[in-house]
């Protein structure tokens, strides 16, 4: 019988920022890397060091030690430093499908620059694992996965029953995704620190190894045991080779090898047993007591999630599609600028960063990165849409009219009540002093003509005049000095109904002889307090809740839009309700109703409700924090002192929209609490469907037998749905990543704000900023569907397009090669959710990526298919059986040119 092999892999799990600010951790990284490079020189037997699966560590190091670049390059080439495959170690669920993809793509590009990459999808500390990981790794050409959470290891002596889909006897297992992709995976069943600080002293070493070998053998499926020599921010163990020699002497029946993942995984895959277990889909600790899933990080510091969503949409759904349309087939596509913006955004996407579970300094620095990334996105988008506008032939518009282009950059049709600002007149500083020009424009404003909006054929388009405004502006020509001016702007509102995916249309504002006839239809009736169009009828109750009739199905949904406030004595990781279980509802008070807009385009109605809420937790919480009392043992109550929390909610129903939109704002001055909005579905269903990463994930509404946590928080991207055989309800959101299904009546509860005063985890770290004091706004939506798949996925697509407004730009009258009203590409597929339209990395075509929103085969009808092939995430050829058929849960990337 051959000896058991002990593979010892030296590493350090490098959270770039967490319980200290970035630079505090960074300076310690410099020391770690210095020590490591010196150790390679001194200790030839030191096999290699695993650089935590993230290439950014090397950038961080070389920012301070640029002179050691050549040495680093040599050590990577020799296999001493093991790099990649990712750019950063992300949180799976709180970043978009594309952000997850770019982490892999950029990580791959960076690894290639260094030389070799570790062929392992590495998720050591990720707070639960997304269900599509097996398919995503396949598409990133990665053969294995390793992760630390999500599956409960049971050990060899315990039987795993068929209904335990998230338990495993072995630390190795097959992991299968919803599309049936399978990946050989390693769970760090004894954590990624099971071989940390190996003693050299024989007596201590004996004690250490007796325990560690037994622990590893309890779960290992083969004779290859994995020992992870490192942990969070662990300095390199310089005498590890000596320690392994001692171990070898003590345990001649084992072979101790200082090793690396490539060798370990090769050995494991050669000897996996036939009875190796399988886990399915997302791995989120479903079969634990439910306290440490860390899913409540989805509602920690909601402002981070909102900003992250804003920047993701700016890069993925605005800047990249516009640049693709503008620079189609040319080398002018701004690859480098976009990659720079993506890297900046991804630096905010590690698990301790985007999860909002770090100290205040960390999250303050993140806000700057969000802003920087967004500015780059906005610059690229503006440049691209102006470039596109210049290519469009507007010469048929009448002289003196002001043409403007509207572009739907979504991969799905868009219905929107669109507000557009048009510069009507301009007075240059070059032609007069600023104050004189200002007065001239003010005079022009007083003498504004009557207006009409026309298309290229001269047809009149209905619109509403909103306002006019005079202010300073400037142009920055690409080849000349800046041009300052005063300008007169006119703001109008238009109805855009079912504007096609990736299409644009050109309209113009022109002066008119007569006043345009105004459509007198109104969406809101003030007497009955009812909002109504062809799709929906919503009555506002005196307590502010809504009774809604879905006219498609004739079903009524009562008591919608209720706000709930509860105490939270937990931390950034975990919600823990105060011991008094005091819950306050918005429906306990009367709502004031105010009409903000009511015309043929749609209605905006404002509700104002005041809830009396405890100002904070009671004094006991401070003691429980200081004494580091575990969350599950806390007993603090809410304070007796009540203060008013005034919620302002604007409800929007536009003429042709089959959904209600909401924007709730308030000034939070209370601590230690959570505010949620509730939509009562009253539908009989055992499961819900939520938007996750390249997946509409189906989750049970009831918890497992082992679950002890009184709540069951879950992650979402843009929507969550509950339905029965006749149809259902979809709640969309913007950057509100946490929801819960309340099992009594299957109410969908979406967390708006969660306010806590400490980080949590291994000590006491105060986080006053996590109390989220100040002004906040939250956007979400509500739509209904019937029992067809098309109707259901329409509500999903709509929730996604709600995050991306139609883009507009003014242009002048000029010739051009492009038509006024056309599509860049046509796409008809209700169940195909587009995540990306961009130029290929090598500029030799365009990329269109998306995924199947359902577990049914789905057909894609698109103008690109004739010139398209399929590629993987790395944009390498990846042939499929049928270009126009998408398999259940498939992620598809097309590469095309025209």
CB 729 within 8 A of CB 745: no
The 396-435 contact track toward Zn ion, x by CB under 5 A, reads: ----------------------------------------
Query: Which residues, in sequence order, are CB contacts of 39 under 8 Å at separation 6+?
Result: 46, 236, 238
CB of 762 to Zn ion, least distance (A): 12
Rounded CA gap, 58 and 80, in Å? 14
* Closest distance of CB 146 from Zn ion, Å: 14
Nearest to 668 by CA among 303, 272, 152, 293: 303
Measure the CA–CA gap between 391 and 818, rounded to whole angstroms.
Answer: 6
Looking at the Cβ atoms of 15 and 464, the one nearer to Zn ion is 15
Beta carbon of residue 148, minimum distance to Zn ion (angstroms, whole number): 9
Q: Closest Cα to residue 73, out of 119, 116, 38?
A: 116
Write down the least CB distance from residue 283 to Zn ion, Å: 17
Among the listed ranges 122-130, 532-540, 597-605, 651-659, the one in contact with Zn ion (CB under 5 A) is 122-130
CA–CA distance from 605 to each of 519, 596, 663, 735, 739 (Å)?
A: 20, 6, 11, 23, 26
* Closer CB to Zn ion, 54 or 409, in the complex: 54
Does residue 463 contact residue 490 with C-beta atoms inside 8 Å? Answer: no
Question: Contact letters (x/-) for Zn ion, 595-634, by CB under 5 A?
Answer: ----------------------------------------
β-partners of residue 665 are: 648, 777
Minimum CB distance to Zn ion smaller for 125 or for 316: 125
Closer to Zn ion at the Cβ: 15 or 413?
15
In terms of DSSP bridges, do strands 659-668 and 642-654 run parallel, antiparallel, or are they unpaired?
Answer: antiparallel
For 629, list phi and psi in degrees, rounded to 5: -75, 130
Tokens representing 129 are 């694992």
Q: Is 541 exposed, middle or buried (0-12, 13-18, 19+ CB in 10 A)?
A: middle
Q: How far is the CB of 351 from Zn ion (least distance, A)?
A: 5
User: Helix 56-64 to helix 97-114 angle, to the nearest 10 degrees?
Assistant: 60
Q: Site map for Zn ion, 123-152, x if CB under 5 A? A: --x---------------------------
Q: Which helix (H) or strand (E) holds 687?
A: strand 687-692
Specify the stretch interacting with Zn ion by CB under 5 A; choose among 119-127, 150-158, 221-229, 242-250.
Answer: 119-127
Q: Tell me which stretch binds Zn ion (CB under 5 A): 14-22, 72-80, 438-446, 662-670.
A: 14-22
Measured from the CB of residue 123, what is the shortest distance to Zn ion in angstroms?
10
Based on CB atoms, which residue is closest to Zn ion, 15 or 875? 15
Q: How many CB atoms lie within 10 A of CB 522?
A: 15
| Gyration radius of the chain's alpha carbons | 29
Q: H helices of 497-574, where?
A: none
Q: Which is nearer to Zn ion, 127 or 261 (CB)?
A: 127
Strands 182-187 and 172-176: antiparallel
Q: How far is the CB of 495 from Zn ion (least distance, A)?
A: 48
What string marks each residue from 662 to 691 as x (binds Zn ion by CB under 5 A) or -?
------------------------------
Q: Is the CB of 125 or the CB of 624 nearer to Zn ion?
A: 125
358, 17, 285, 346: which is closest to 127 by C-alpha? Answer: 285
Closer residue to Zn ion (CB): 15 or 98: 15
- Closest distance of CB 125 from Zn ion, Å: 3
| Contact with Zn ion (CB under 5 A) among 15, 110, 164, 875 | 15
Half-sphere CA count of 198, side-chain side, radius 13 A: 29
Phi then psi for residue 865, to 5 deg, are -60, -30
Nearer to Zn ion, 14 or 264 (CB): 14
Least separation in angstroms between CB 352 and Zn ion: 6
**Which of these segments, 117-125, 190-198, 440-448, 855-863, binds Zn ion (CB under 5 A)?**
117-125
Minimum Å gap between C-beta 76 and Zn ion is 23
Strand partners, 467: 491
Closest distance of CB 349 from Zn ion, Å: 13
- Between the alpha carbon of residue 124 and those of residues 80, 120, 189, the distances in Å are 21, 11, 11
Q: Kindly state whether residue 875 participates in binding Zn ion, applying the rule CB under 5 A.
A: no
* Range 271-290, binding Zn ion (CB under 5 A): none
Give the integer Cα–Cα distance in Å for 14 and 11: 9
Single out the residue of 347, 324, 260, 277 nearest to residue 50, CA to CA.
260
Cα 14 to Cα 86: distance, rounded to the nearest angstrom: 13
In angstroms, what is the minimal distance from the CB of 15 to Zn ion?
4
Marked catalytic residue, from 52, 60, 92, 125: 125
- Which residue intervals of 768-855 are DSSP H helices? 789-801
Query: Residues with Cβ < 8 Å from 459, sequence gap 6 or more?
Result: none
Cβ atoms within 10 Å of 837's Cβ, excluding its own = 28
Total of chain residues touching Zn ion, rule CB under 5 A: 2
- Give which of 817, 804, 805, 806 is closest to 387, Cα–Cα: 817
Q: Which stretch binds Zn ion (CB under 5 A): 7-15, 50-58, 249-257, 427-435?
A: 7-15
DSSP string, 354-369: HTT-S-HHHHHHHHHH
> Closest CB to Zn ion among 14 and 557?
14
- Which segment (47-55, 118-126, 359-367, 691-699) binds Zn ion by CB under 5 A? 118-126
* Residue whose pair of structure tokens reads 């919620």 in the numeric block: 647
Q: Which is nearer to Zn ion, 88 or 538 (CB)?
A: 88
Quick one: which of 739, 736, 706 has its CA closest to 722? 739
Residue 292 Cβ vs Zn ion, minimum distance, rounded to whole Å: 14
Q: Which whole-number Å values give the CA distances from 431 to 232, 445, 474, 694, in the listed order?
A: 64, 19, 14, 55
The residue written with tokens 């680093």 in the block is: 72
Q: Which residue, 148 or 602, has its beta carbon nearer to Zn ion?
A: 148
Which span sits near Zn ion by CB under 5 A: 12-20, 444-452, 759-767, 846-854?
Answer: 12-20
What residues have CB less than 8 Å from 490, skipping those under 6 apart?
421, 422, 424, 448, 451, 465, 467, 468, 509
Contacts of 888 (CB under 8 A, 6+ apart): 178, 179, 852, 854, 855, 856, 857
User: Using CB atoms, what's the residue nearest to Zn ion?
Assistant: 125
Q: For residues 15 and 316, which CB has a smaller minimum distance to Zn ion in the complex?
A: 15
125 labelled catalytic: yes
Contact footprint for Zn ion (CB under 5 A): 15, 125
Positions annotated as catalytic residues are 125
């Amino acid at each position: 019988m051959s000896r058991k092999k002990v593979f010892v892999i030296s590493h350090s799990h490098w959270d770039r920022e967490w319980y200290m600010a970035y630079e505090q951790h960074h300076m310690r990284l410099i020391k770690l890397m210095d020590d490591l490079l010196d150790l390679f020189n001194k200790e030839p037997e030191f096999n290699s060091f695993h650089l935590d699966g993230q290439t950014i560590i090397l950038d961080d190091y070389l920012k301070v030690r640029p002179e050691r670049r050549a040495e680093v390059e040599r050590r990577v080439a020799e296999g001493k430093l093991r790099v990649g495959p990712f750019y950063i170690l992300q949180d799976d669920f709180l970043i978009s499908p594309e952000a997850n993809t770019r982490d892999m793509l950029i990580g791959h590009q960076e690894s290639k620059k260094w030389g070799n990459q570790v062929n392992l999808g590495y998720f050591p500390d990720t707070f639960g694992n997304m269900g599509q990981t097996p398919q995503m790794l396949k598409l990133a050409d990665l053969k294995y996965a390793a992760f630390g959470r999500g599956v409960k290891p049971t050990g060899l002596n315990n039987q795993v029953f068929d209904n335990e889909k998230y338990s495993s006897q072995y630390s190795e297992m097959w992991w299968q995704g919803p599309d049936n992709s399978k990946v050989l995976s390693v769970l760090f069943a004894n954590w990624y620190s099971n071989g940390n600080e190996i003693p050299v002293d024989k007596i201590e070493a004996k004690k250490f190894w007796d325990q560690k070998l037994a622990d590893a053998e309890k779960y290992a499926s083969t004779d290859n045991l994995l020992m992870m020599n490192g942990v969070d921010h662990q300095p390199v163990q310089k005498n590890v080779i000596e320690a392994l020699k001692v171990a070898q002497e003590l345990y001649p029946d084992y072979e101790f090898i200082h090793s690396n993942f490539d060798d370990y995984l090769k050995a494991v895959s050669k000897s996996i047993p036939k009875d190796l277990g399988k886990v399915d889909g997302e791995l989120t600790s479903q079969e634990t007591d439910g306290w440490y899933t860390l899913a409540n990080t989805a509602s920690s510091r909601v402002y981070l999630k909102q900003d992250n969503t804003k920047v993701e949409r700016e890069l993925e759904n605005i800047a990249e599609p516009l640049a693709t349309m503008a620079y189609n087939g040319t080398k002018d596509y701004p690859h480098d600028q976009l990659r720079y913006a993506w890297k900046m955004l991804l630096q905010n996407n590690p698990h301790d960063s985007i999860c909002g579970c770090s100290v205040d300094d960390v999250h303050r620095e993140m806000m700057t990165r969000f802003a920087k990334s967004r500015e780059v996105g906005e610059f690229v988008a503006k440049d691209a849409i102006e470039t596109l506008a210049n290519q469009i032939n507007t010469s048929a518009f009448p002289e003196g009219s002001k043409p403007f282009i509207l572009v739907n950059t979504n991969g799905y049709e868009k219905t929107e009540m669109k507000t557009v600002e048009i510069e009507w007149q301009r007075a240059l500083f070059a032609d007069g002093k600023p104050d004189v020009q200002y007065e001239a424009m003010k005079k022009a404003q007083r003498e504004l003509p009557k207006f009409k909006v026309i298309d290229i054929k001269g047809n009149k388009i209905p619109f509403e005049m909103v306002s006019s405004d005079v202010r300073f502006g400037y142009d920055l020509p690409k080849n000349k000095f800046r041009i300052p001016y005063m300008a007169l702007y006119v703001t109008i509102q238009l109805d855009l109904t079912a504007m096609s995916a990736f299409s644009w249309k050109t309209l113009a504002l022109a002066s008119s002889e007569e006043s345009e006839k105004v459509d007198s239809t109104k969406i809101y009736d003030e007497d009955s307090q009812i909002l109504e169009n062809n799709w929906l009828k919503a009555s506002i109750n005196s307590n502010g809740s809504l009774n809604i009739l879905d006219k498609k199905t004739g079903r009524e949904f009562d008591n919608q839009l209720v706000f709930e406030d509860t105490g939270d004595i937990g931390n950034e990781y975990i919600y823990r309700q105060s011991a008094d279980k005091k819950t306050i509802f918005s429906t306990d008070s009367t709502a004031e109703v105010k009409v903000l807009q009511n015309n043929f385009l749609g209605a905006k109605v404002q509700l104002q409700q005041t809830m009396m809420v405890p100002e904070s937790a009671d004094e006991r919480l401070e003691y429980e924090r200081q004494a580091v009392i575990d969350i599950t043992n806390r007993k603090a109550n809410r304070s007796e002192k009540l203060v008013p929390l005034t919620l302002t909610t604007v409800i929007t129903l536009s003429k042709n929209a089959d959904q209600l939109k909401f924007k709730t704002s308030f000034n939070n001055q209370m601590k230690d609490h959570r505010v949620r909005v509730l939509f009562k579905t009253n539908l009989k269903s055992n499961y819900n469907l939520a938007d996750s990463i390249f997946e509409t994930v189906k989750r049970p509404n009831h918890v497992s037998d082992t679950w002890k946590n009184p709540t069951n928080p879950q992650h979402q991207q843009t929507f969550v749905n509950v339905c029965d055989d006749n149809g259902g309800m979809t709640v969309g959101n913007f950057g509100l990543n946490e929801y819960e299904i309340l099992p009594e009546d299957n109410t969908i509860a979406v967390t708006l704000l969660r306010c806590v005063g400490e980080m949590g985890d291994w000590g006491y770290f105060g986080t006053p900023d996590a109390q989220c004091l100040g002004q906040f706004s939250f956007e979400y939506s509500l739509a209904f569907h019937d029992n067809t798949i098309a109707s259901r996925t329409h509500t999903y697509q709509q929730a996604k397009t709600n995050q991306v407004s139609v883009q507009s730009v003014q242009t002048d009258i000029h010739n051009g090669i492009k038509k006024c009203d056309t599509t860049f590409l046509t796409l008809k597929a209700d169940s195909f959710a587009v995540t990306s339209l961009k130029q290929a990395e090598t500029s030799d075509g365009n990329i269109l990526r998306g995924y199947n929103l359902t577990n049914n085969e789905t057909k894609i009808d698109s103008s690109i298919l004739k010139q398209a092939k399929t590629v993987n995430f790395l944009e390498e050829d990846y042939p499929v059986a049928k270009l126009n058929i998408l398999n259940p849960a498939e992620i598809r990337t097309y590469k095309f040119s025209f």
